[in-house]
Amino acid sequence: MPEKVIEIKHLKKAFGDNDVLKDIDFSISKGETVSIIGSSGSGKSTLLRCVNLLETPTGGEILFHGENIQTELDVSQYRARVGMVFQSFNLFDNLNALQNCIIGQTTVLGRDKGAAKAKAMEYLEKVGMTPYINAKPRQLSGGQKQRVAIARALAMDPEVILFDEPTSALDPEMVGEVLSVMKRLSESGMTMMVVTHEMAFARDVSDRVVFMNDGYICEQGTPADVFGNPKREETKNFLSRFLNQ
């Protein structure tokens, strides 16, 4: 049994009296790629944001290598080990692509400038953004921005990367370039939690698919099971609605 990196137990999150996450049990093992699917508003983003502590859970616990992320770990150092890629990129607008990938390394990990730059260049090359290291975010296309954002996350040498609909804000012709970077990353053994509406990615790349509905994990299993032979009525409805549109 491979080592569990993140373990979520009875996670709850409410905004005021709006219970968004009702009782989530979930874990992800080293090297696993898990796709999280579900209709809009079902709590997928909230789940990822709780894992990265961008939201504070209102119940349950999240363990990172068995340690509670809220009580036993330093938030800043924990976040450095768990990268996040956002739908809206969230690159630093005042910094160029290279600086975007350096700043976290120097300020959070205390790496010296030279080492940080070398590492940033390495990952920018991996995502095919070497030619654009001097470009500011506003000078890049959506697909290019997202690739820089992935390089920024990778430059911190994280153990896990969380992706929140990384291709949803992209023009259709740019979706492919980002997905192919993610596919390579998955194949290289990175542990990934991916919220996505790209069913082809979920089916072909992930090891496991999780279907979320109304604040619960409704069904999960191998892509073949979930897509080929869904057990729950909600899953069937979601998939048929999704594939017919």
Partner 1 sequence: MPLFNDISKVWTKYGNQIVSGIWNTVLISIAGTLIGLIIGLFNGIIRTMPKPKNIILRAIMRVVNWIINAYVEVFRGTPMMVQAMIIYWGYAYLSGGDSLPLIPAGIAIVSINTGAYITEIVRGGIISIDRGQFEGAMSIGMSHFSTMLHIIIPQVMRNILPAVSNEFVVNIKDTSVLNVIGVTELYFYAQSAARNSYKIFASYLIACAIYFCLTFTITRILRFIEKKLEGRGNYTIFGSQSDSTAEIRVSEEEEPVNA
Ligand X SMILES: Nc1ncnc2c1ncn2[C@@H]1O[C@H](COP(=O)(O)OP(=O)(O)O)[C@@H](O)[C@H]1O
Residue among 38 and 143 whose Cβ is closer to ligand X: 38
Kindly state whether residue 52 participates in binding ligand X, applying the rule CB under 6 A.
Answer: no
User: Edge-to-edge strand order for the sheet containing 82-85?
Assistant: 82-85, 160-164, 191-195, 33-37, 208-213, 216-221
Site track 34-53 with Mg ion (rule: CB under 5 A), x = hit: -----------x--------
Report the C-alpha dihedral over residues 191, 83, 157, 31, rounded to 10 degrees.
Answer: 0
Quick one: which of 35, 46, 96, 191 contacts ligand X (CB under 6 A)? 46
Q: Which residues contact 35 (CB under 8 A, 6 or more apart)?
A: 194, 195, 196, 201, 202, 205, 206, 208, 209, 210, 223
Residue among 130 and 222 whose Cβ is closer to partner 1: 130
Quick one: which of 6, 11, 37, 45 contacts ligand X (CB under 6 A)? 45
Sites for partner 1 among residues 127-146 (CB under 8 A): 128, 130-136, 139
- As a three-state string, the secondary structure of 169-222 is CCCHHHHHHHHHHHHHHHHCCCEEEEECCCHHHHHHCCCEEEEEECCEEEEEEC
Q: Which does 121 bind (CB under 5 to 8 A by kind): ligand X, partner 1, Mg ion, none?
A: partner 1
Q: Least distance (Å) from ligand X to the CB of residue 73?
A: 23
Residue among 46 and 96 whose Cβ is closer to ligand X: 46
> How distant, in Å, are the alpha carbons of 82, 161, 170 from that of 198?
23, 17, 12
Q: Which does 161 bind (CB under 5 to 8 A by kind): partner 1, Mg ion, ligand X, none?
A: none
Q: Least distance (Å) from ligand X to the CB of residue 229?
A: 24
Q: Which residues contact 182 (CB under 8 A, 6 or more apart)?
A: 150, 163, 166, 192, 194, 201, 205
Residues at the contact surface with ligand X, assessed by CB under 6 A: 15, 18, 20, 38, 40-46
Contact residues: partner 1, CB under 8 A: 52, 54, 75-80, 83-84, 86, 88-96, 98, 103-104, 107-108, 117, 121, 125, 128, 130-136, 139, 149, 152-153, 156
